[in-house]
Amino acid sequence: MKLDKNTKILIIGLGVIGGSYAKALTDKGYNVSCITKEDADIRYAKEHGMISYGTSEVEEELIAASELIIFALYPTTFIEWIEKYQHLFTPGTLITDVTGVKSQVVYKVQEILRGDVEYIPAHPMAGRERSGVEFADPGVFEGANYIVTPTEKNTRAAVRLCKQLGEVLGFLRISELTPEKHDEMIAFLSQLTHCIAVVLMNCNDSEGLEKYTGDSFRDLTRIAKINDRMWSELFLMNKEALLSEMDKFIEEFSEFRTYLANEDGKRMREKMRASSARRSLFDKPVK
Amino acid sequence: MKLDKNTKILIIGLGVIGGSYAKALTDKGYNVSCITKEDADIRYAKEHGMISYGTSEVEEELIAASELIIFALYPTTFIEWIEKYQHLFTPGTLITDVTGVKSQVVYKVQEILRGDVEYIPAHPMAGRERSGVEFADPGVFEGANYIVTPTEKNTRAAVRLCKQLGEVLGFLRISELTPEKHDEMIAFLSQLTHCIAVVLMNCNDSEGLEKYTGDSFRDLTRIAKINDRMWSELFLMNKEALLSEMDKFIEEFSEFRTYLANEDGKRMREKMRASSARRSLFDKPVK
């Protein structure tokens, strides 16, 4: 199959990411339908020019007619959906996803999926701290990273098409990783940061602190507003990698604490200079 | 003394905060001179309309003629400056500062300071992750917090004037705390966050991570670009309070780690819901 403006694209799950995909694709002239649970979300998406057609039913004809199906569901819901409805796909359909953990999803889905349909996994590294289609905004893809995580079961044609989808959506950097490498990386860059934000937000309940806060605390806790169902699923599905990153963090934190307890300004300053230098690598590329 | 457009204001130390004070005050028609180490910084400040007069010398006449002197130096440098040059102040001069820790600075300075000069301590809760006058920007004060930390030695008149200065500078919320309460609060809201950012930046040195990062990691490590001399001084001068906040953080972090290790999704979700609710308190007020 080819991805062009005639390709019949179906998005399943119209939350903040599914909605942002829908809007980005529709804005560029692509043909986007959707299936999602709530009729209100479909009305919202139509009113805001995000989709050409939407339904809250699992419509057999719509699914059969779709050439590219994008799953934007909670990880466990995605797997359940495949188990329950994959008989509705037309042979040759390509499916992809937006799931934030890979190993535990990708191998499972590829194992249960019928042989005449290909699943090419992807993870758009962008999001918002709010959930729901009304917070959809394709602007979050600008300057952001998009990762395709193929396995040996995938064809190069599917990898190429999935990367093309990332380009159409407006991502800046499009990369390829194994599911295992992806999960290791995401445990550090995304899951550990969400743990830290949640913990920081919960570790001091003094009243009135908001009157005195500066931007640093706000920045570190922006993501402490968190979709608890989704993130607990993501953490549990990537448990070993995340525990390992948490342990490395605790170790480094305890080392820094020792320097302070010993009034070892020299070593604290070395750590600060190292962090300053390394942080420069992570500056968002200027367009 | 009164703070009005005829008040002779002297800023000592023209870095990112001193420079932002200078620009904010000059923009509003106040009369601002400065003493700072580098002639290049004075040239920059003049070219950018930040000061009416500047010198890199400790000019006796300038100091004697100043009615309000604002110290924007490293904490230890501030104390040394007072010890060395306080004989140059005219009786009745009011001095204030921008120092990020209070107990160890305020009591020391008030103890050594001559009796005919009053020091009213303040902490503007705003800054930038870069240092130097060329990063000065009074825009950082918009929506930000300003805290006056008087002791029993201070007059109400000085407290009022110091708060008025915060208003002129453009701060949104102006509060009053004891030096001790300030330090406890700052240990959590600002120093702990800087520790976390430095530690997070140093705890995984895998190559190429920047290719995959999302905004959450960038947000949590923005302040990992850090002025090592200033922050190590601030940490050491607030050691006990900071160690106590670090320990509370480690305890809460370890608890969350245990939930994950036990696959206790229910308790993880409770923590996430608590953090989401509490984080709402800290949203920046909309103007």
Q: What is the CATH number of the domain that holds A46?
A: 3.40.50.720
Nearest residue on chain B to A182, judged by CA atoms?
Answer: B212
Q: What is the distance between the alpha carbons of residues B78 and B97, in angstroms, rounded to a whole number?
A: 9
Residues A168 and A194 in one domain: no
What is residue A188's predicted lDDT score, i.e. its pLDDT?
A: 97
Inter-chain touch B200–A249, beta carbons under 8 Å? yes
Q: Largest alpha-carbon pair distance within chain A?
A: 70
| pTM check: above 0.90 | no
For chain A, the average pLDDT equals 95
Test B219 with A220 for CB contact under 8 angstroms. Answer: yes
CA–CA distance, B132 with A134 (Å, rounded to integer): 42
Taking the C-alpha atoms of residue A234 and residue A223, their distance in angstroms, rounded to an integer, is 15
- Looking at the fold, whether A72 and A102 belong to one and the same domain comes out as yes
How far is A48 from chain B, CA to nearest CA, in Å?
A: 26
Q: Would you give the DSSP letter of residue B129? A: S
| Domain ranges, residue A36 | 8-177
Determine the pLDDT at residue B285. Answer: 67
How do residues A65-89 score in pLDDT, each as one tens digit? 999 999 999 999 999 999 999 999 9
Cross-sheet strand order for the sheet of B68-71: B53-55, B31-35, B8-12, B68-71, B94-97, B118-120
- pLDDT for the residue numbered B53: 97
Residue B285 within a domain: no
CB pairs under 8 A between A and B: 279
Which residue is associated with the tokens 């209100």?
Answer: A40
B265/A232 touch (CB, cutoff 8 Å), yes or no: yes
Nearest CA-CA distance, residue A116 and chain B, Å: 31
Sheet holding A173-176, edge to edge: A122-125, A145-148, A173-176
Domain count across chain B: 2
Is the CB of A285 inside 8 Å of chain B's CB atoms? no
ipTM: 0.88
Query: Which long-range contacts link A53-56 to residues 24+ away (Cβ below 8 Å)?
Result: A54/A14
Q: How far apart are CA B3 and CA B245, in angstroms?
A: 38
Examine residue B1 and state whether it is found in any structural domain, yes or no.
no
Q: Is the dihedral of CA A39, A45, A49, A53 positive or negative?
A: negative
Residues B125 and B265 occupy one common structural domain: no
Output the tens digit of pLDDT for each of chain B's 287 residues: 899 999 999 999 999 999 999 999 999 999 999 999 999 999 999 999 999 999 999 999 999 999 999 999 999 999 999 999 999 999 999 999 999 999 999 999 999 999 999 999 999 988 776 788 999 999 999 988 999 999 999 999 999 999 999 999 999 999 999 999 999 999 999 999 999 999 999 999 998 898 888 788 999 999 999 999 999 999 999 999 999 999 999 999 999 999 999 999 999 999 999 999 999 998 876 54
The stretch A105-124 carries a mean pLDDT of 97
Q: Are residues B128 and B232 in the same domain?
A: no
Residues of B in contact with A216 (CB under 8 A): 189-190, 193-194, 197, 222-223
pLDDT, average across residues A176-180: 96
Cα A222–A228–A233 angle (5° rounding)?
120
- Do B115 and B35 fall within a single domain? yes
The answer, for A112 touching chain B at a CB cutoff of 8 Å, is no
What pLDDT, on a 0 to 100 scale, did the predictor assign at position A192? 98
Tell me the nearest-neighbour CA distance from A147 into chain B, angstroms.
Answer: 7
Same domain for A146 and A227, yes or no, is no
Chain B contact for A229 (CB, 8 A cutoff): yes
State whether residue B241 sits within 8 Å of chain A by CB. no
